[in-house]
Structure 1
């Protein structure tokens, strides 16, 4: 549990820090005699709890708490004061506790116990509503277990790109310098770092609000960040693992499972976002889909499962209309199943596409087969 202390008396700050040092699992990440400075540093320090004095110079503790809760929703508040007349106002602000000076260890024990219990309940709430998956095909979405997909609402487009970049490199440390150069190359180092801290803060807040159990680790020694997705499911990882298992066995037994997996590919990797740095992974996954889809289409064709083969070749042609081998296979299947008009329509569609888009004629093999077929089959109705 990370704690910030705010009190205008240095002696009080030292006393609270000393008392808190006796608890395991607790660290004081900042001590401030100025409330505004503490609030500015919150995105960087990411506190779980703030110990606020009520009587502060320039800005009262009550007003400071309102600003802190607006800037950092969900942070727990503990008031520390020499006066008890502000207790009602304090608890109106959902303060966890109200401590009177001078502090005593036994009374602080009760406060820490309350904070720990509240933190445990928060974790249980998050765990019970954790979305089962993060979806990366087509666009970024979150899906709760057994529920519909949700599109996260990001504060800025840079915040969204930062999260997707960390997700793209999940489980790996991303150096801070890499993020600054990628997202804020036009800003000086100080401004860019401030933007980075603020964006990390807003990502954490968004994930917390949506119940995503994927913490961003701040690795100080390596000066970088890492997104921990060990407790969340990622659709592309599940999809690729499923392909590997389904295609590694007997196709007679696994073709239905493989077909279901191929149907889950609802669009290219982060297709709607179009980030250039995701292009290599986007192309790798796309080729993986083509490879398995073509293998499955050929299996269906050879096994005489023409309805299934037609469906696969039609989808292959929709995805890659310039592939002459798939186009010829589809025309042959249309012909073999008596759909002569569809065969002719698809041939002329390919002819137009090659002529208008590629400025070349259809491959001789395809033309020769079609001309031969026209002499023996009633392609034109």
Structure 2
């Protein structure tokens, strides 16, 4: 395990180097009193761990860590500080550990043990062949190494929103100025920038811990970030590509696959994200699902596949309950299959919805059909 030391106190650097010399399999690849110089050397030295003094001149610990993660992605961080109040901040930044000055060998033992355990888990994850995925329908979840999808433990709601925005703009440069205005408009530039650096660091650590190979690249010249998703799978992209491949294929041959794809739409795109920037894409994907679902429902209806048609129209009405034409199609299918009570129940549900929420009545076409059906089929009214 290669370790880099960054502290502006020479005595502390010498002490840590001496203490680390007693551990087998550990080498100190560099000692620096200046954070910027250390960060410049990181791509060449490729440290596994950096021991950072959190209170450095020129750069704050937050900024130094953010730049270090860009210079050498995947590097673990251990904070060294003389102030106990920084311990909480260290864990907020997802550092592996923190050490208080003056250093003690017993406490360093705990840190080394923690680092070794983390490296062992990382090694196990690297041997898994299952691709990582990001799931965007309904809740935002991450799935790695063949495990079940998990909702990440984001530090704050805005950290989640930041990741979601970078994901939404994947492959494109997102300017820092845009992110500051979008997520922290109430703060001054310096405060907002600190929040941004902290959140970026937290996201990187979260992705690394969950085995998601989607690095956030810091575009220094353009002052922005790019989320690289080229090595992972994203459910929204897979879903839309699947629909695209079925385009133009006769439903007689493809209805089973189309039904499978439509079932993958578990909920709206980034459903829990309340920011306005997500609405256009959310509505586009919702319409895409609806158009394909309606096409499939009508195919089942014409093919006299009543149960399949009923299931599709029920799902369509769940997604878009305000469409009277689909509601009428569903009620006709209910009556055709002898389920008159369900037809009446759905009619009253639509009547309540339109009268109480939209403040308008049902169309004459739907009302006339229902009255005719009640007269023609007495069980409907019982």
**TM-score using structure 2 length:** 0.76
Residue equivalent to 1:347: 347
Residue equivalent to 1:270: 270
Cα deviation per residue 1:181-230 (whole Å; 9 max; x = unaligned)?
01111111111111111111111111111111111111101110011111
Shift of 1:39: 3.7
Residues matched between the structures, number: 347
Sort the Cα spacing of 1:301 and 1:51 in 2 relative to 1 into closer, same or farther, 3 A. Answer: closer
Residue equivalent to 1:73: 95
Which segments of 5 or more consecutive residues in structure 1 lack a partner in the other structure?
78-85, 97-117
Sort the Cα spacing of 1:366 and 1:50 in 2 relative to 1 into closer, same or farther, 3 A. Answer: closer
SS in 1 for 2:226: strand
Cα deviation per residue 1:104-150 (whole Å; 9 max; x = unaligned)?
xxxxxxxxxxxxxx999886544345763211111111123543221
Sort the Cα spacing of 1:89 and 1:362 in 2 relative to 1 into closer, same or farther, 3 A. Answer: closer
Residue equivalent to 1:36: 55
Residue equivalent to 2:207: 207
Which segments of 5 or more consecutive residues in structure 2 lack a partner in the other structure?
11-30, 70-74
Sort the Cα spacing of 1:21 and 1:76 in 2 relative to 1 into closer, same or farther, 3 A. Answer: farther
Sort the Cα spacing of 1:13 and 1:148 in 2 relative to 1 into closer, same or farther, 3 A. Answer: closer
Matched-pair contact (CA < 8 Å) for 2:53–2:61: no
Pairing 1:371–2:371 present: yes
Cα distance in structure 2, aligned partners of 1:330 and 1:306: 10
After TM superposition, list the pairs within 5 Å mapping 1:230-269 onto structure 2.
230-269=230-269
Residue equivalent to 1:94: 112
Sort the Cα spacing of 1:145 and 1:295 in 2 relative to 1 into closer, same or farther, 3 A. Answer: farther
After TM superposition, list the pairs within 5 Å mapping 1:1-381 onto structure 2.
5-6=6-7, 8=9, 13=32, 25-26=44-45, 36-37=55-56, 39-47=61-69, 48=75, 59=82, 73-74=95-96, 93-94=111-112, 124-128=123-127, 132-378=132-378, 379-381=380-382
Shift of 1:256: 0.9
Cα distance in structure 2, aligned partners of 1:269 and 1:50: 34
Sort the Cα spacing of 1:193 and 1:23 in 2 relative to 1 into closer, same or farther, 3 A. Answer: closer
Sort the Cα spacing of 1:240 and 1:68 in 2 relative to 1 into closer, same or farther, 3 A. Answer: same
Shift of 1:293: 0.6
Cα distance in structure 1, aligned partners of 2:41 and 2:200: 30
